[in-house]
Amino acid sequence: MASISTDSGGKRRILFVGADGNRRQIRLGKVPMKTAATIKARVENILAAQLAGHAIDGDTATWLGERDSVLYDKLAAVGLVPPREPQPVAQAVVLGNFLDQYIASRADVKPGTETNLKQARKKLVEYFGESKPLGAITPGDADQFRQHLESKLGINTTRRHCGRAKQFFRAAVRKRLIPENPFGDQKGLAVRANPSRFYFLSREDAQAVLDACPDAQWRLIFALSRFGGLRCPSEHLGLRWGDVDWERNRLTIHSPKTERHAGGESRTIPLFPELRRYLEEVWDQTEPGTVYVITRYRESNVNLRTQLLRILEKAGLKPWPKLFQNLRSTRETELAQSYPIHVVCAWLGNSQRVAAKHYLQVTDADYERAAGGGAKSGAPAAQNAAQHTAGDSGKLWQETTQAPENQGLVPESSGICNGVQNYPVTPTGFEPVLQA
């Protein structure tokens, strides 16, 4: 009923006589003989069904449904099958809707991360528009978007937004919504340390801030940042009275930022003397049965950064860059002058690499000590540097303070501790994620 013809160039054709008696051919091009034979067999099945006046068999119908439009249209052109109905044009996936759906699907992220994703979404739709089709955004458009951000924002902020844009479009590629990621070729999106934004807050200025704080809880919030090195606000608000071991001078810190890493859900720090006094002050004002240490500033609408700016104005101090992070940086730098770096990193909850890159500072006092400034007459500079300690922190184990009466608020288990925990924490990049 049908035959295969191969010309001198290797191109194959299916020759047959249709149900109407006319000779026809289907040009297949250069295809293997096995492929041509398979098509010939299907053509014969279709012809047999047409001549008998019944439907084609299910196996052949399935085969037809799986054919691409090129071969199917050739079969339709010679009257073997009816033309396919034109498929409705799929509505293009637009930027705003896709970003909303992606962010809504990320139930696994923390509130701070969700906020960061929404900020990146805002920048993308401001530049491209809500209704911009995803597939219409090219790598060149992505480069121009990055240049646009760099002209208005800091370099690290630009890197963060472009890194999240790369994340968005990577998800679109995996969903087969677009063929390629327009941000896929962009490099250098990791946040880098900017030494020009480092700031070391002296103890004199820290005391001025503490004197200007409105109440005991605000003094403790500031002290936990400056003298405890806590991440604000997540680690402050997670602190419970049961985490305070008054007898052993230890404080357990819960860290939402590093809890996904093995051993990173919490760490233990010393109850430094310069921190303890402010913790005791809040304890004395706490009602029995209170769980959390910080109770007055827990509402979602409380902006600790804005309040700290007001406190600085009252204290007569000019705001420094990265208000809370530089308090943490100051404390890590200070402690590193008196304790081994692996101990300091265990207390602060970061890695030595992250500490060196984002926290440890070179201060004016370092230059003065190296040059012998403040040394006794005739004393070598090296000896003076060796005798230097970071403020009062070196007296930690020399001081003893009477523990406040328990009042039944501290669990018995809080006094059990087998030494300072030294959990290695996987690097997590630029910190903190949240701004207070």
- Decide if pLDDT at 407 tops 80: no
pLDDT at 114 over 50: yes
Could you tell me if residue 302 is inside a domain?
yes
* Residue 389 predicted with pLDDT over 90: no
Asked if residue 93 lies in contact with residue 133, where contact means CB atoms within 8 angstroms, the answer is yes
| Structure confidence at residue 290 as a pLDDT band (50, 70, 90) | very high
CATH label of the domain that carries residue 115: 1.10.150.130
Residue 91: pLDDT band with limits 50, 70, 90: low
More confident residue, 1 or 187: 187
pLDDT score at 390: 41
Residues 239 and 356 in one domain: yes
Q: Which of 77, 109, 140 is the last residue of a domain?
A: 77
Query: How much is the pLDDT for 126?
Result: 95
Q: CATH number, domain at 277?
A: 1.10.443.10
Whose CA is closest to 331, among 208, 224, 250? 224
Residue 88 lies in a domain: no
Whether residue 187 sits in one domain with residue 203: no
DSSP-assigned states of every residue in 317-365: -PPPSSHHHHHHHHHHHHHHTTS-HHHHHHHHTS-HHHHHHHT----HH
With tokens 């990146």, the residue in question is 120
Measured in degrees and rounded to the nearest 5, phi and psi for residue 29 equal 80, -160
H-helix or E-strand spanning residue 28: strand 23-29
Considering the domain architecture, whether residues 172 and 273 belong to the same structural domain is answered as no
Percent of the chain with pLDDT over 90: 53
Within this chain, do residues 204 and 303 fall inside the same structural domain, yes or no?
A: yes
> Which residues are CB-neighbours of 198 under 8 A, at least 6 positions away?
321, 326, 329, 361
In the predicted structure, residue 406 carries a pLDDT above the cut 50: no
Residues of the chain above pLDDT 70, percent? 84
Residue type at position 210: L
Q: How many residues does the chain have?
A: 436
Q: Is residue 65 part of a domain?
A: yes
Q: Same domain for 222 and 363?
A: yes
How do residues 2-22 score in pLDDT, each as one tens digit?
Answer: 899 999 889 999 999 988 888
Distance in angstroms (rounded) separating the CA atoms of residues 93 and 172: 10
pLDDT of residue 40 exceeding 70: yes
Q: Does residue 133 carry a pLDDT above 90?
A: yes
Whether 281 contacts 219, CB under 8 Å: yes
Residue 109 forms beta bridges with which residues?
A: none
In which band, very low, low, confident or very high, does the pLDDT at 377 lie, cut at 50, 70 and 90? very low
Please tell me the distance from the alpha carbon of residue 278 to that of residue 148, in angstroms, as a whole number: 46
Which pLDDT does position 33 carry in this prediction? 92
Asked if pLDDT for residue 143 goes beyond 50, the answer is yes
- 335 or 390, which is more confident? 335
Residue 143 located in a structural domain: yes
pLDDT value at 342 more than 90: yes
The whole domain housing 159 covers 95-192
Q: Domain end: 154, 171, 192, which one?
A: 192
Distance CA 436, CA 328 (A): 13
**CA distance readout (Å), 350 to 243, 332, 333:** 20, 10, 13
**Averaged confidence pLDDT in the chain:** 83
Total domain count, the chain: 3
Least confident of 73-87, 263-277, 323-337: 73-87
Q: In what order do the strands lie in the sheet with 12-17?
A: 2-6, 12-17, 23-29
Whether 425 and 349 have beta carbons less than 8 Å apart is answered as yes
Task: Report yes or no: 148 and 127 within 8 Å, Cβ to Cβ.
Answer: yes
* Ordered DSSP codes for 177-224: SSSS-TTTT----S----GGG-----HHHHHHHHHH-SSHHHHHHHHH
Q: Residue 100 above 60 pLDDT? A: yes
Asked if pLDDT for residue 394 goes beyond 50, the answer is: no
Looking at the DSSP assignment, which residues form a beta bridge with residue 55? none
Q: Do residue 28 and residue 64 come from a single domain?
A: yes
Both 295 and 365 in one domain: the answer is yes
pLDDT at position 320, please?
A: 94
Separation of alpha carbons 242 and 239, rounded Å: 8
Q: Phi and psi (nearest 5°) for 239?
A: -75, 125
Q: What's the pLDDT at 103?
A: 93
pLDDT band at 254, cuts 50/70/90? very high
67 and 172 in a single domain? The answer is no
Mean pLDDT is lowest, of 72-76, 87-91, 169-173, 196-200, for: 87-91
The residue with tokens 């934004």 is: 197
Q: How far apart are the first and last CA of the chain?
A: 81
13/114 same-domain check: no
Co-location of 107 and 239 in the same domain: no
Q: What pLDDT shows up at residue 378?
A: 42
Q: How far apart are CA 222 and CA 320, in angstroms?
A: 14
Residue 425 included in any domain: no
Q: 237 and 361 share a domain?
A: yes
pLDDT tier at 428 (50, 70, 90 boundaries)?
Answer: very low
